[in-house]
Structure 1
C-alpha cells in the first residue's frame, strides 16, 4: 500500500512540474540491460514503477525498474529511458555499450560516429519526439550502426570477456571510514578503505558518459590503447598478405572472408591445415596496413584466437641461385668432374684423351675351353692351378681373407669346436666313435 501511494504521489508531482505532454511519456514492460547489471541470478524479483522517474538525459518521465543482481550486491535501477538507450545502443543503468561493454566515447572514436544531439529545451523535446516515432517505424535498425564489428574494439575488450559483477558491489560505508559504524557484520555497505580522492575515476557522471565528454573511464581506455604495441609494415610496398596463425578446422574460408572484408577487398585466402595457419591477400596495400594495425596481437574469431602478422615474400629460384654463387667455397676440395655426355658432345678430343688414360689389361684374354660331356668346362692340359705350382699366366693375388691364421688352421685352431673339417685327426674316426682328449691338442 505504501508503494502504491508513493507511485500516485510521484505521478501527480510529475503532472505538475513536467513540461512534456503526457502522451509522450514512455511506458515499457522490461528494461534494456547488459549482462553485468542484470546479475548472475536467473531468478530475480524486479519491481516496476510506472512513470517513476525522469530520464537523466531527456528529462522525460519513463517507467523505472529496480532489482537486486545477486546476493551481497546493492540494489540497482534504470537511469535513462529506452528511447535514449536505443539511440546510443547502451544499457539503461550503466550507460555502457551493449555489444562490447565499453564507454560510449571509446566506441564512437573507433567507429567514427558523431551524434549531433541538441541540448536546448525546445530542440531536445522536438528531437526526442521525432526519434520516438522513427524508432516505432524502423525498430532496431538504428542500433546496427553502433553494433558494427570492429577489430579495435575487440582488441580493447578482449581482456575481459565475461560480465564484471564486482561493479554491482555495495558502496563503501562512510561511517566505517570515520570509525563510527556500529552495525558490524549486519552493515549492508562495504567496510573497505576507499580509493584516492584525487583519482579521476572517483568522479563520474551519467550525462557525460552518455554524450562521451569528460569521461575518465573512456580516457583511460583510449590512453591504454595508444600505448599498445603496433606492428610496423614491411618496406616492400608490394607485400599485401597477412599471416594468421592458430587457424583450426572450425574456421572456414568464408569466415575469414567475412571478417577481413571490412578492411578492403580481399584477393584470395589460402588456408594451410597442416600448419594451422592462413594467408589473407588484399588487393591494396592500404587495406592490408589497416587490417594489420587493428588486428595485431590476438584476434578472436568464433572463439578461436588468431595471431596476425605480416606475410613474408617467397624467395625466387634465380635469387636463391645467385646467393649460392656468392658464397665462398671451402678451400682444399677438388673441383667438380666433367659430365661425360657433355664432353663427348662438345669436345671429342677430350674423350680421346680420356680413353688413352684408361689402363690396358695385363695379358691377352684366355679362351674358354670346350664344354665337357656333363656340361662342365675342362681346364687346359698345361694348366696346373695356383696350388700345384702351375703357370696360369696371371700374377698371383693375395687377399687378406685367405690368411691361414683366419682359416682356423693357425695357433687358434685348437679353440675351434670339433668338426670333421677343422681337424685332420677327424678323418680317421668313424661315425659314432668317441673322441680322445688328444684330438683337441
Structure 2
C-alpha cells in the first residue's frame, strides 16, 4: 500500500478499521438491498490525514457511486455523516448547527496539535457507550427552535444524482442515453453554491449552504413582545370545539403562574393572562408557530389593550387591511345626516312650503282601474307603498 507523507507520522495502532460506515439516510439511498465494497486503509482522512477504511456503494438506480470521505473519529467528534458531512440529527451543515446550539469550534488546525487532539478524542469515544456524540456537540444541553424549523426530517435523494456531463455541455457526448452522467445545463458559475470545500464544511467556516440557511432563518416570522410591560395576556386562536380551558391550562402552566383563562366560544379563541411578564414572554417564545393541542394547531399572539386596539383600528377596511392616503385627493366626505323617521315621505319631490291647494290636485287613477263615480271623487295621492294598488298588481 502506498503511504503518504502525512501518514508516516502515525503508527499502525492509530489507523482506523471499521465494519460499517456512519451514514445518513440520504447518502445510504432508498434501496434497502445495496452492495457495498470495503477497502481496509484505502485512503487517508481528509481532515486528520490518518488512513481509514473506505466504503463505496451505489445508493440507487441512475445514481452516482459514493464513498466515505472522513474517518469515523472525525465523524463522531462532529456527529456528521462520513460522506456529506451534514449533521446526523438535523440534516444541516455544521455551521448552522453550531450557530443554533451556540457551540464554538475548538478543534486545532496545526498538524501536531490536531494529532494530539484526535488521539485524546478517540480514547474518550472508546470509553463512552456510543449513544451520544463527542466533543462540544455532546455537551449541548438543549436544542434550538431555529434548528427544529430548518431541520430536514426526510431524505433528499436528488442529492445522489450523477454529475453533469461535460462532453454534453460542449456538444461532444456520443453515449446518448447510455451516458452515466446528466445531460443538463450547468448552473451559473458565479453562484456561491458552486464553490464548496469539504474542510470549510467540517470546520463550519465559509460554507455557502450554511450562509443561505442562516439568511432564511433571519427572515422567519417572530413574535416580538409589545413595548407595554403591563401586557401579560396571550391570544390563542383556532381552538375549535375540542380544546377546553383544562387543556390550555395543562400546557401553559409550565411557563409560570396563570391568573385567568377566558374562552370566547363564538370566536373560537381564548385569552390567557399570566401573573408575571416573564412567564408570558417565555410562553410566547416557546409556543409561537408550534403549539398543537389535541391535534389542533393553535395561533399564538400577544394580547392588546382596548386603547391600542382602538388606535390600530383607524384606517382599516372591512377586510382588516390598512389603506394609505393617496396624495392629491380630497379628504373623506362627511357622513350623511341621519334620516328623520317622523317626517312624511315626499315621493313627488315637492317643496314643503307648497300651499295645500296645490297638494289637493286630483290625480288620475292607475291604469287598469275603473274611475270612481262622479259623486265620490276624492283627492287621494297614490304612493308606492305596500298598500298601493300598483303594488298589488
Question: Do they fold alike, i.e. is TM over 0.5?
Answer: yes
Three-state SS of the structure 2 residue aligned to 1:66 is strand
Three-state SS of the structure 2 residue aligned to 1:113 is coil
Offset of residue 236 of structure 1 = 3.2
Match for residue 107 of structure 2 among 117, 129, 135: 117
Offset of residue 232 of structure 1 = 2.9
Match for residue 32 of structure 1 among 17, 22, 38: 22
Asked if the contact 2:90–2:153 (Cα under 8 Å) also holds between the matched residues in 1, the reply is no
Structure 1 CA distance for aligned equivalents of residues 39 and 272 of structure 2: 54
Provide the residue aligned with 2:131 in structure 1: 140
Distance 1:78 1:303, change over 3 A: farther
Offset of residue 81 of structure 1 = 1.2
Structure 2 CA distance for aligned equivalents of residues 64 and 168 of structure 1: 18
Distance 1:19 1:278, change over 3 A: farther
Moved more, 17-26 or 207-216: 17-26
Offset of residue 307 of structure 1 = 4.4
Structure 2 CA distance for aligned equivalents of residues 190 and 39 of structure 1: 18
Structure 2 CA distance for aligned equivalents of residues 253 and 208 of structure 1: 46
Offset of residue 224 of structure 1 = 1.5
Provide the residue aligned with 1:231 in structure 2: 223
Structure 1 CA distance for aligned equivalents of residues 179 and 26 of structure 2: 24
Three-state SS of the structure 1 residue aligned to 2:171 is coil
Offset of residue 240 of structure 1 = 4.3
The answer for unaligned runs of 5 or more in structure 2 is 307-337, 341-393
Higher relative contact order (CA 8 A, sep 6+): 2
Offset of residue 220 of structure 1 = 0.7
Q: How does 1:12-411 map to 2 (within 5 A)?
A: 12-13=2-3, 17-138=7-128, 139-141=130-132, 142=134, 143-145=137-139, 148-157=142-151, 161-240=153-232, 242-243=234-235, 256=251, 265-267=255-257, 285-286=277-278, 288-289=280-281, 292=284, 296=288, 298-299=289-290, 306-312=297-303
Three-state SS of the structure 2 residue aligned to 1:48 is strand
Structure 2 CA distance for aligned equivalents of residues 140 and 299 of structure 1: 28
Three-state SS of the structure 2 residue aligned to 1:65 is strand
Moved more, 67-76 or 300-309: 300-309
CA RMSD of superposed structures (Å): 3.7
Moved more, 211-220 or 285-294: 285-294
Structure 1 CA distance for aligned equivalents of residues 26 and 102 of structure 2: 26
Structure 2 CA distance for aligned equivalents of residues 218 and 162 of structure 1: 18
Per-residue deviation, residues 247-306 of structure 1 (Å, max 9, x unmatched): 778xx789957xx97xxx54459798x89888777776456546645754x327699684
Rg (Cα) greater in structure: 1
Structure 2 CA distance for aligned equivalents of residues 101 and 278 of structure 1: 37
The answer for unaligned runs of 5 or more in structure 1 is 1-8, 316-329, 333-441
Asked if the contact 2:225–2:302 (Cα under 8 Å) also holds between the matched residues in 1, the reply is no
Q: How many residues were matched structurally?
A: 299
Three-state SS of the structure 2 residue aligned to 1:201 is helix
